[in-house]
Amino acid sequence: MRFISKRRLPAIIGLLAGTGLLVLAVPHTIAAMLLALSTQRYDYISNPNTSDATLDELYDTTMDAIDWVPTSKAWTRIGYIEMERAKRADTTEGQTDHYLKADSAFTSALTISPMDTYTWTRLTFARLKTGGATDGTAVESLRMSLLTGPYERNIAVNQISYAVSLWSQLTPAEQHDIQEKIRWIDTLEHRDLVALAKRNSSALEITVGAMSTAPTNLFQRFIRDINKPGSNTK
């Protein structure tokens, strides 16, 4: 019987450790490759020319990646695919079903990356489409969106829009924070904020109320632009 020499033992241990690391890396590598290979098509899921069959293929590929390694990126993709399917659904029941699936996917993503502001925001939208305004789930996700991303320019108007829909469920302190956000985003995304104000009477009342305490020149500009016909403002 041959014995392993002490001089060879470290090399053998290193080899075994390296093999173990390689085995652990394989699932992550395959999952990343599946997502990478489908990224170009995924970027166009909202394009009207993207077929339902392509959405189905993207869904299957992304779920294959999740089977290897469930990541927040992959689950978020599933959520967006379901949102696009909801937009294309022919029936109210079909839309609700896809929004509920989007809710589930975004929730799975957030269990992995709970500080993802954008996913909290999209989850709020999905919940507003499925009764979340009445069962308290939408305001819960909105609060997390605001907590994790209080000054995210790209989604601030969306956050304000959802807050308007849930205004009565916000605390006075939260309403105050939204009013501050309105005054802040007006200096960056004035056109989009005006479009939101014109959407309905609640949005108009809340945005005008917030802007009434802004500097006079900004308030006057806001009033002027919401009274313009159409949505083309500067």
CATH of residue 139: 1.25.40.10
Predicted pLDDT at 211: 98
Residue 170 lies in a domain: yes
Q: d(Cα 137, Cα 101) in Å, to the nearest integer? A: 15
Amino acid letter, 61: T
Domain match, 85 and 164 both: no
**Tokens standing for 84?**
């696009």
Q: Residue 156 — pLDDT band, cuts 50, 70, 90?
A: very high
Q: d(Cα 210, Cα 217) in Å, to the nearest integer? A: 14
How many angstroms from the chain centroid is the CA of residue 11? 48
Contact 145, 169 (CB under 8 A): no
Rounded to 5°, the CA angle 118-122-128 comes to 145
Domain match, 117 and 165 both: no
Domain match, 126 and 179 both: no
DSSP H or E run through 21 = helix 9-42
Predicted pLDDT at 27: 83
Q: d(Cα 28, Cα 73) in Å, to the nearest integer? A: 13
Predicted pLDDT at 7: 56
Domain match, 125 and 202 both: no
- Indicate the number of domains in the chain: 2
Domain match, 60 and 143 both: yes
Domain match, 132 and 168 both: no
Length of the chain measured in residues: 234
Predicted pLDDT at 10: 57
Contact 195, 228 (CB under 8 A): no
Q: d(Cα 113, Cα 98) in Å, to the nearest integer? A: 22
Exposure of 60 by Cβ count < 10 A (0-12 exposed, 13-18 middle, 19+ buried)? exposed
**Tokens standing for 29?**
């590598």
Domain match, 114 and 131 both: yes
Give residue-wise pLDDT tens across range 95-127.
999 999 999 999 999 999 999 999 999 999 999
Domain match, 134 and 160 both: no
Q: Is the pLDDT of residue 51 over 50?
A: yes
Q: Which domain holds residue 87?
A: 52-149
42: nearest Cα among 59, 63, 64, 65:
59
Domain match, 77 and 159 both: no
Give residue-wise pLDDT tens across range 180-213.
999 999 999 999 999 999 999 999 999 999 999 9
**Tokens standing for 72?**
């927040």
